[in-house]
Structure 1
Amino acid sequence: MRLLLLPFLLLPSAAGSQDRALAPLPDHEAARRGVERGEMVPLGSLMPRIEREFGRVLEVELEEADDGRMVYEFEILRSDGRLIEVDVDVVTGLVVEVEDEEDDDDDDDDDDDDDDGME
């Protein structure tokens, strides 16, 4: 099982240099800081509910949704073997989208089915 953010949200913060503060933060650092400031729901508090409701979590990423809000994007293996993606609002902890990954037939990473049958 590969969880990208979980270990970083559960570890204490490490001191950084001033130069590092000017560089863009990787997802896990931005998430950790958001949780520490009370601006984001901790991933660890969402995991049990997401696994209970949807299935086994394979991966989690911090993403910007189409509407601009930040979401935890869970890749989940359901008990029937299907892969789904569940987006959870990082501020409210509410599920905002559930997408069946099996419907993405275009072999790119955008999760939009661009396969219109035209060659």
Structure 2
Amino acid sequence: MRRSALSLLSAAIVLALAGSLAHADGHHDGDEDETLDAVHRAVEDGTVKPLSDLKAIVTARFPGDIVRIEPHRRHGAFTYEFKVLQADGRLVEIHMDAATGQILKTENE
């Protein structure tokens, strides 16, 4: 039963991500539509890794369920903030460079 609840949660995250992909924090470049368009262009031209590749890096280092993904754009550079719920109930926040896949910072919440 726990696994099916996590599957439903994962599906909800995917839907929420579609709506929040353009979200950026207070130090962003452009509005939400511009950010979303810029992310798509950056992935298409190869300057930013596809989200599926970045998620694979995160889950390889931090086993658990990704419960939130927030893209950020600062000074033209993209980063992602992933929140991973681990099996022991801990929530880990991972900040990643979207161009390189390098993990910039982690925090336990």
**Same fold per superposition (TM over 0.5):** yes
Gaps of at least 5 residues in structure 2 are: 1-9, 22-29
Q: CA deviation at 1:34?
A: 0.9
| Letter in structure 1 aligned against 2:43 | V
The alignment covers a number of residue pairs equal to 84
Q: Runs (4+) of structure 1 moved beyond 2 Å?
A: 23-30, 67-70
Q: Which has the higher helix share?
A: 2
Between the two proteins, what is the percent identity of the paired residues?
32
For 2:69, the equivalent position in structure 1 comes to: 60
CA RMSD of aligned residues (A): 2.6
Q: Is the 8 A contact 1:27 1:62 kept in 2?
A: no
Radius of gyration: which is bigger?
1
Q: Quote the offset at 1:29 in angstroms.
A: 2.9
Query: 2:83 aligned with 1:78, yes or no?
Result: no
Confirm or deny: 8 A CA contact 1:57 1:77 kept in the other structure.
Answer: yes
1:90 maps to 98
SS across alignment from 1:61: strand
Of 48, 64, 89, the match for 2:56: 48
SS of the residue aligned with 1:62?
Answer: strand
Q: Which runs of 5+ in 1 are unaligned?
A: 9-22, 102-119
- Per chain length, whose mean CA-contact separation is higher, i.e. which structure has more relative contact order (CA < 8 Å, sep 6+)? 2
How many angstroms does 1:95 deviate by? Answer: 0.4
How far 1:59 moved relative to its partner? Answer: 1.4
Residues 39-58 of structure 1 show CA distances to partners (whole Å, capped at 9, x for unaligned) of: 11111112122112212111
SS in 1 for 2:54: helix
- Secondary structure of residue in 1 paired with 2:52: helix
Aligned counterpart for 1:34 among listed residues 39, 42, 53: 42
